[in-house]
Every structure is written in C-alpha cells, then in structure tokens.
Amino acid sequence: MAAEMPTPPGHRPRKAAPARQPLSRDLIVATAVRVLDAEGLEAVSMRRVAQELGTGPASLYAHVSGKEELRELMLDHVAGEVRLPEAGAADWQELLKELAREIRRVYTSHGDIAKVSMGLIPTGPNLLAIAEAQLALMLDGGVPPKIAGLAVDTLGMFLDADAVEDTIYTAKRSPGEDPWESFRVHFEEIRQYFRALPVDRYPRITGMVDELTGGSGDDRFEFGLDILIRGIASYVPASGTA
C-alpha cells in the first residue's frame, strides 16, 4: 500500500469521510418515518428516502419491495410506540378505552400515517400485538369471540378516521397559527351559517345549533369511543345465561 501523502503547505488537511451506516430495513424505515414527520406521507418515496440516506433508490430494493411495503413497515414501526395496557389495572372497558386513546396519541403525533392503516389488514408484529391486546381485554371481559373479532375492525376504522380527520384540520392551518383559535373562528362561522338557514326547511338544525357545534375534538372522540365500548359490552352475556 502506498504511503499517504502529506498535506502541502497552505492546504487544508483532508478529512476522512464519515463511515456510512450499513443499509438495513430498520434504517430505511426509521428514515422514512423522519421524512413522514417532517413533510407528510405523500413526501415519502423510495427516491426521497434514498436521498436522505445518501444512496440510490436501487439500493433500497434489496431490503424493501417498494413504496407500499415501505408504508406498511412505517405504520408498524410507529405502532411500536403504543404502550399496551397491563391486565388487571382496571376493568376491561376502561383498559380498552385507554388503549384507544394511546393509539390515537401515537397516530396523530406522526402526521397522516393513519392513512396507511385504512383498508389494511395488519400483519406486522407491533400491529398484531395491539390487536392481541384488544382481543385479550374483550375476551377476558366476556365478549363473545365473534363480536370481539368484529369489534377490533370497527375500533380500527374509528381510530383511523379520527386521526386522518385531525391531520386534515392541521393541514388547513397556516404555519404558526394557534390551532384552537383557528377552530374557534371556523366553528363560529359554521354557527352563524346554521342560524341563518331557513327555519321552515331545517327546523331541527336551526334549533340545535349549540348542540351540533359544541364540544371539542376530544369531547367528540370520547363520545364516539364510549358509544363503541358500550355497544361491545352489550354483547356480554348476562350472569347465569349461556
């Protein structure tokens, strides 16, 4: 091996290039999630992630088959942040609610990742762990298996829709705009519109403006969640019946 040349007088010493982290599926997914958090789901592409990693898109295909698989892996990666409930800490209905709130928290903290979940049958280990926890809570609470199986899907649709709607509202805000002030102004405009509707055509709407436009996003989420959990619990056989 030839000896390294010294630095000529007046020249800046050449720095060694930093060692590149070996490419792996985990690194690709983590990088894609960073792009998601900064720029949204539509910005995530094989080319964009490769750019972040300082490589070409072709090198990613050795680890991920394409954008669709990458998105599914991103969703499962994000789902790994969900804290699963400890059995016995409370009754099954409250634990199921706590888990739903936790899923909502994680999904809404990662932009519009919930779009990936819509229409997707979970197969990743973290998503399966969430489904397993939901099923365990319901079955331990006496919910029939058939109902528990359907309820997992229904809960998923509710949580996905809530998280996606949250990102739609967020996207409409201007940078630096106070979200609560934006919502207040928007709902006040809606209230004024409802009050101005023809009473003879819309007597219920014009008579229930405050009820229709009252409550925060959290209030509406909790109401919908309570309806779902109560509905699931209604299928638990009464004590002493088959």
Digit-coded pLDDT (tens) for 179-198:
556 667 777 888 999 999 99
Q: Would you tell me how many other CB atoms lie within 10 Å of the CB of residue 140? A: 12
Q: Would you tell me how many other CB atoms lie within 10 Å of the CB of residue 136? A: 16
Query: CA-CA distance, 232 to 68, in Å (whole number)?
Result: 33
* Residue at 162: amino acid letter: D
* Percent of the chain at pLDDT exceeding 90: 69
Most confident of 12-16, 165-169, 179-183, 204-208: 204-208
pLDDT of 179: 56
Higher-pLDDT residue of 172 and 126 is: 126
- The residue among 86, 89, 71 whose CA lies nearest residue 133 is 86
For residues 92, 93, 94 and 99, what is the CA-based torsion angle, rounded to 10 degrees? 80
Query: CA-CA distance, 114 to 122, in Å (whole number)?
Result: 12
Digit-coded pLDDT (tens) for 70-107:
999 999 999 999 999 886 656 999 999 999 999 999 99
Query: CA-CA distance, 36 to 112, in Å (whole number)?
Result: 8
Instruction: Band the pLDDT of 5: cuts 50, 70, 90.
Output: low
Query: CA-CA distance, 158 to 232, in Å (whole number)?
Result: 14
Give, in order, the Cα–Cα distances in Å from 38 to each of 110, 122, 178, 191, 217: 9, 25, 19, 34, 24
Q: Round the average pLDDT of the chain to a whole number and report it.
A: 88
Q: What is the pTM of this model?
A: 0.83
Structural domains in the chain plus CATH codes: 25-79 (1.10.10.60), 96-233 (1.10.357.10)
